[in-house]
Amino acid sequence: MITVASWNVLHRVHAENWGEDVLRGCPDESERIAAVTELLVGRDEHVIALQEVSGDQLASLRRSLTGRCIHALRYPRVPAPRHGTCSLRDPEEYLVLLVDGPNREVTAESFEDDPGKGALAVETDGMLIVATHVSGDQRRTRQLARLAELAASPRGCAAVLLGDFNTDRATVASALGTGFAVADLPPDGLPTRPRTSGSKSQWIDHVVVRDAVVSNAAVESTEGLSDHNLVRATVTM
């Protein structure tokens, strides 16, 4: 059994380009980065997947999470500000896995059709853990097919997919196909990506398993530090 979590921490450039509400509550990015790191220091899940991690945020995590193994995929695309300049020292964007205990990296790849999205996989505790961030348009079809390939590769172990899939649970389950189970989040719980307008799903961050059982899935508030809340669950083989 392992516990897992996933959280899109919101890259500062994306927040500024899209005018996210978090900017009003966290105008100083260095303070927000420190608060994100502090929240993660207090988490006890065995594996935590993070999306939209800036270079500044990654450096903060490396300084503070000395007891965890940190894997990072740097995307070929560097987010560019649409207005003004970037307040980050290192504006590069990363997909990150924080792992407790023995583990080894299996693959780290950006998707062929989106240089700002991808997959990062490690093996730990007899499971293949894949962190991912999927595009929010029709490119997701090919990307989800690639994730299914990664999870079904002949390693003889169960697989867990964690990340921001940018679409609802039913779409993810249908695209991945038979053998995958997407955690069913409590209907009366918090959304993973709260919205005040628009028709897009508010439940787009998921825990998916293959040859394993997922339970105790829930969404926890991140107190306005990001436009996403954190998803956690327990996985057993």
Return the CATH number at 57: 3.60.10.10
Contacts of 69 (CB under 8 A, 6+ apart): 98, 99, 100, 103
| Position 141 pLDDT exceeds 70 | yes
- Segment 45-100, tens digit of pLDDT: 999 999 999 999 999 999 999 999 999 999 999 999 988 788 899 999 999 999 99
- Segment 200-222, tens digit of pLDDT: 888 999 999 999 999 999 999 99
Neighbours of 74 (CB within 10 A): 16
For the chain, the first-to-last Cα distance in angstroms comes to: 7
Domain enclosing residue 21, as ranges = 2-236
Look at residue 94 in the predicted model and tell me its pLDDT.
98
| Position 125 pLDDT exceeds 90 | no
If one counts the domains in the chain, the total is 1
- Segment 19-44, tens digit of pLDDT: 888 888 889 999 999 999 999 999 99
